[in-house]
Amino acid sequence: MIYPIQTGTVRVKQFQLTGAKNNLSRLYQLLLTKRWGEWMPIYSWLIESEGQLILVDMGETARIYEEGYLPSGGPYHKAVQTKIKKEEEIPTQLKTLGYKPEDICTVILTHLHGDHIGGLEYFQNAHIYVSHAEYEVATSKKGPKAGYFKKNWPDWFAPQLIQYDDRAEGRFRQSYRLPDHENIIIVPTPGHSVGHQSVIYREGGSSYFIGGDLTYNLDTLKAEIPNVLMFNQDAQDSVRKALDYVRSHSCVFLSSHDWSAPNMLKANGE
């Protein structure tokens, strides 16, 4: 089984959903206009597999309203806005499904942006996976400028860093298979962030492609519009590989910010 868990909403500039002619146009729309897109959900995904609970991403935190948690100025607030109430954080959402954070044994993080690791403080006992490349950049000097705020992480956070092996999965030349869960495959989908990764989950006759922030929704996937601020060839390649995989394996495509994702799950019998 796989369940969507919504923790608040987010919006970005419209061009991130529709694409743009070139980087100059992107920069103009990012910094000088207020052309925001619609508010979108922030989803994490709870997978029940082999009697274990596996979480993909951790959603947003209401700590964003604490002074100093997010940068006070600069381009950050021109690029992204998020809203969440304390009671929308992940522990409350898990409770409605009958679980508590301690029940989660494994967490796979698509990447380390704030709206995907907001619930970090609740998962000290879980085995947490992040790609090696993502952790490197997030903990480097460049981190804060690239939208990573290590100062907000708990001291104990020392995730297992994934090194992919050469087992191909569709057009993805490398992958990582979760120990004891052959039906959960992690593939590198860099672009939105340097070490962004996606999760493929198989159950019965169904396949799910959990794309994180690879692209915003099924329509932008089909239009091959990656979720990026500036044009990025890696992101373009990742979206094409994902689209090819989703089509050839008839996957349900689950983006972190797609309102229609829960309906796609329901239509698939979840």
> What residues make contact with Zn ion under the rule CB under 5 A?
113, 213
Residue 12 or 200 with smaller CB distance to Zn ion: 12
**CB of residue 151 to Zn ion, shortest distance in Å:** 18
Residue 10 or 94 with smaller CB distance to Zn ion: 10
Q: In what order do the strands lie in the sheet with 181-188?
A: 176-178, 181-188, 197-203, 206-212, 252-255
Residue 196 or 241 with smaller CB distance to Zn ion: 196
Angle ∠(130,198,27) on CA atoms, nearest 5 = 90
Q: How many CB atoms sit inside 10 A of residue 157's CB?
A: 16
**CB of residue 132 to Zn ion, shortest distance in Å:** 18
**CB of residue 193 to Zn ion, shortest distance in Å:** 6
Residue 26 or 113 with smaller CB distance to Zn ion: 113
> Dihedral of CA 218/92/47/148: which sign?
positive
Residue 53 or 138 with smaller CB distance to Zn ion: 138
**CB of residue 213 to Zn ion, shortest distance in Å:** 4
**CB of residue 236 to Zn ion, shortest distance in Å:** 17
**CB of residue 163 to Zn ion, shortest distance in Å:** 22
Residue 169 or 213 with smaller CB distance to Zn ion: 213
**CB of residue 87 to Zn ion, shortest distance in Å:** 24
Q: How many CB atoms sit inside 10 A of residue 90's CB?
A: 26
Residue number of the CB atom closest to Zn ion: 113
Residue 230 or 267 with smaller CB distance to Zn ion: 230
Q: Are 222 and 245 in contact (CB under 8 A)?
A: no
